[in-house]
Structure 1
């Protein structure tokens, strides 16, 4: 049933050394190869048109959406959930509720981008851009006010660095100029709080918008750090939240000693994401890290109160 691979990796080790292309190869975040933004499939709708429709199936609007967060582990969560026989997942990020040019195409356009499924199956799509979107909460509520939402989060500072790293590599691949992390995060000696990656990590600010439209009991927050260390533990919580029978087992995961992370075993196959898909993080100056930790601390406390849950973040 599962369609792609999953993964995770090593630790981010801060130091006083400034990041450059060589140093980026020395550090890998424990969640980076959760592949929150990387999939084996491109974000196009054409692939759905080539699907063969099994008898008794049809396209269904998602009953559950993974709405965030960018660089938090959404891809890994989706692929792990795809192990469950009562779950079918959309292979691509649809960006229906956050991109106006897609939203105007209408709900039937959205429905037709979903995989074929049976009546007893839950269809799930994930688009991490929804979490920070100004319009997504209201639009999703208008579609289905009783929908269940999944959000996977990680330490906000780690998320900022991962966000930077993705842009860094994209610019390298496109032969564009790149900047050091410190030169973007620090402006005139102060933290650049207008940096988009920092804004995306203000979980309390964005969560407040979702709670205007959805009850907290409709939202389940997945701990990205726990997902990578103990995947079954987090997935069992999701199964319970979705009112699904427990079908995901410890035998569905195995630790690959060579790669250093968990891989998936299902449908008689063993699958790991190729390590070339991982994006190593820069070594970040300790002083800059402490500034980020300090800035997010109050926002984290606010978030904990909002969701009645705490996390092991700096």
Structure 2
């Protein structure tokens, strides 16, 4: 159990008041609040927590020095990190968590859609969507449509504009993703209310199977974008990950792409985000120890903050910060109202199996998809 520290009232304890650094993101401010309970990790937590505290405080000091420098200038610049998908696999949760890391800054718009639907507006438009960032920031954005929507040449577009960007891809169980997409399309009224998953999906399986049967990779990709990426058929074609990953590998070095198992993002997000920070090359300021189960049974984050404790700065955790149950995870919460039959699930598993196997060989790793 961590020790509990109740924030001090600044008006009564002016000696510990620390001026906030204007312009630094909320996480990087030093908070001294009244009536706030913080959880302080025990000192016995090991080298990992001690290193996090050291790096956190070093970042704040360096950021403060940078802000006070006469040469300091924030500007809009193209992203360092782009989450390109996959839709319905947790990209919103990914952004929500990473926003708690003080080195990351995101656009106000949730998804820029530049390389898919706003390409004609030009690079200046894209740059203008980005936040005003300091040199110590990592600019990040997420637009899941990049992975599989728009035109076939989206990877080439991204490469031409941000050739050195690091890409993040979340791949979740294709069957779960298809069902989640179906529920989403009903909510968005792209599929008529009252439509039944068990009646709707088999026809799409049959059409997709016939169109892709015995096709070479290049031909299959062309068919997907010509016949399967629009309308309800995209619910299946989006999860044909092998073909989409192949497209991205043709434009980007594999070392630039970080793949996340969407199921692991649900069951062990702390591990995922520690590995992600290593991949991007930033200090691990978000740790596995920061995550805990929320009221709906899924993991949330206790955001790390810096406070003054008895005159010294320390990294502590706030209360759990969870995504609203109504906003995300509808199918995982079991409240979608469109439960699929075991027979339809079995059909989907059989349909996706050969494509999953091709993906595993391409990536050199397997995912624990049933």
- With the shorter chain as reference, the TM-score category is 0.7 to 0.9
Deviation at 1:269, TM superposition (A): 5.5
Q: CA 1:211 to 1:168, structure 2 compared with 1: closer, same or farther past 3 Å?
A: same
Of residues 67, 87, 101, the one that matches 1:84 is 101
CA distance in 1, matches of 2:350, 2:202: 14
Q: RMSD of the TM alignment (CA)? A: 2.3
CA distance in 2, matches of 1:164, 1:298: 22
Higher helix share: 2
Q: Are 1:271 and 2:309 counterparts?
A: no
Larger RCO (CA under 8 A, 6+ residues apart):
1
Residue correspondences, number: 259
- Which residue of structure 1 lines up, in the alignment, with residue 73 of structure 2? 56
State the secondary structure of the residue aligned to 2:116. coil
Deviation at 1:152, TM superposition (A): 0.6
CA distance in 1, matches of 2:175, 2:131: 35
Matches within 5 A, 1:61-210: 61-91=78-108, 92-99=110-117, 102-133=118-149, 134-171=152-189, 177-187=193-203, 191-193=206-208, 194=228, 195-210=233-248
State the secondary structure of the residue aligned to 1:138. helix
CA distance in 2, matches of 1:163, 1:255: 25
State the secondary structure of the residue aligned to 1:186. helix
Segments of structure 1 that go 5 or more residues without pairing to the other structure are 4-53
> Could you tell me whether the CA contact under 8 Å between 1:185 and 1:192 is conserved in 2?
no
> Could you tell me whether the CA contact under 8 Å between 1:97 and 1:135 is conserved in 2?
no
CA distance in 2, matches of 1:309, 1:104: 37
CA distance in 2, matches of 1:96, 1:305: 31
CA distance in 1, matches of 2:257, 2:99: 19
Instruction: State which structure, 1 or 2, has the greater radius of gyration over its C-alpha atoms.
Output: 2
Deviation at 1:253, TM superposition (A): 2.2
> Could you tell me whether the CA contact under 8 Å between 1:191 and 1:291 is conserved in 2?
no
Of residues 271, 277, 296, the one that matches 1:259 is 296
State the secondary structure of the residue aligned to 2:282. coil
Q: Are 1:216 and 2:254 counterparts?
A: yes
Of residues 206, 226, 230, the one that matches 2:268 is 230
> Could you tell me whether the CA contact under 8 Å between 1:216 and 1:307 is conserved in 2?
no
TM-score of the aligned structures, taking structure 2 as reference length: 0.65
State the secondary structure of the residue aligned to 1:72. coil
Render the CA deviation track for 1:131-156: whole Å, top value 9, x for unaligned. 00322201000012222100011000
CA distance in 2, matches of 1:274, 1:64: 26
Deviation at 1:251, TM superposition (A): 4.3
- Which residue of structure 2 lines up, in the alignment, with residue 14 of structure 1? none
> Could you tell me whether the CA contact under 8 Å between 1:68 and 1:131 is conserved in 2?
yes
State the secondary structure of the residue aligned to 2:115. coil
> Could you tell me whether the CA contact under 8 Å between 1:86 and 1:120 is conserved in 2?
yes
Deviation at 1:192, TM superposition (A): 4.3
Q: Are 1:297 and 2:347 counterparts?
A: no
CA distance in 2, matches of 1:233, 1:111: 32
CA distance in 1, matches of 2:112, 2:273: 23
